């Protein structure tokens, strides 16, 4: 049946009719080309070239499949590494935010401490100024009192000197010596 189909295909082809003489003759070039082609196909099948080609194609397909699997695995690994780095970046950002917030809190505490220290310093300086004013007032009062005492002593001395006699002066000196002697012993 197969031979009949091949024979029909060969006889139905128009180039076969273009050749001169009978088709199944060795003088017909179309027949020779057909025989060479069939022999070439037979040699290919004898040496199992289609199987080798199929094996090579299968091997190539397996290689491509393994490369695709490897690429897929590398992509998944890269995505995992990227996610890890993104988590680390987020953790670092959160830590940086905490550090900044802590620094702001410490700055506020230091500002409050500096304000309290400044208020204490102002209070100390104000107290020192008030003490200096009070000291100056006391010194001025003392100077005025000393001046008044000196003036009063000088005036009393003048008055006593004018009213005092030698006998009254000796009597006062003796009384003062007795009083000192009584207080010392």
How much is the pLDDT for 21? Answer: 65
Domain residue extents for the chain: 1-47, 57-185
Q: For the purposes of burial, counting CB atoms within 10 Å of the CB of 26, is it exposed (0-12), middle (13-18) or buried (19 or more)?
A: exposed
Number of H helices, E strands in the chain: 5, 0
130-161 tens-digit pLDDT:
999 988 888 888 888 888 888 877 777 777 77
The reported pLDDT for the residue numbered 16 is 45
**Share of residues in the chain with pLDDT > 90 (%):** 52
Range 59-73 average pLDDT: 96
Residues in CB range of 46: below 8 A, 6 or more apart = none
Q: 106-139: b or e for each residue (b if 16 or more CB lie within 10 Å)?
A: eeeeeeeeeeeeeeeeeeeeeeeeeeeeeeeeee
- Alpha carbon dihedral 113, 114, 118, 119, in 10-degree steps, equals -30
């Amino acid at each position: 049946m197969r031979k009949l189909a091949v024979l029909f295909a060969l006889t139905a082809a128009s180039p076969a009719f273009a050749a001169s003489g009978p088709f199944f003759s060795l003088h017909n070039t179309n027949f020779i080309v057909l025989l060479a082609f069939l022999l070439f196909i037979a040699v290919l099948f004898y040496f199992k070239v289609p199987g080798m080609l199929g094996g090579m194609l299968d091997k190539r397909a397996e290689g491509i499949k393994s490369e695709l699997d490897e690429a897929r695995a590398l992509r998944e690994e890269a995505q995992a590494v990227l996610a890890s780095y993104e988590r680390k970046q987020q953790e670092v950002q959160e830590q940086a935010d905490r550090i900044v917030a802590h620094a702001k809190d410490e700055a506020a505490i230091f500002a409050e401490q500096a304000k309290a220290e400044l208020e204490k310093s102002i209070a100390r300086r104000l107290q020192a100024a008030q003490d200096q004013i009070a000291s100056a007032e006391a010194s001025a009062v003392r100077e005025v009192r000393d001046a008044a005492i000196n003036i009063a002593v000088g005036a009393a001395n003048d008055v006593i000197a004018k009213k005092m006699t030698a006998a009254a002066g000796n009597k006062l000196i003796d009384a003062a010596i007795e009083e000192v002697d009584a207080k010392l012993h």
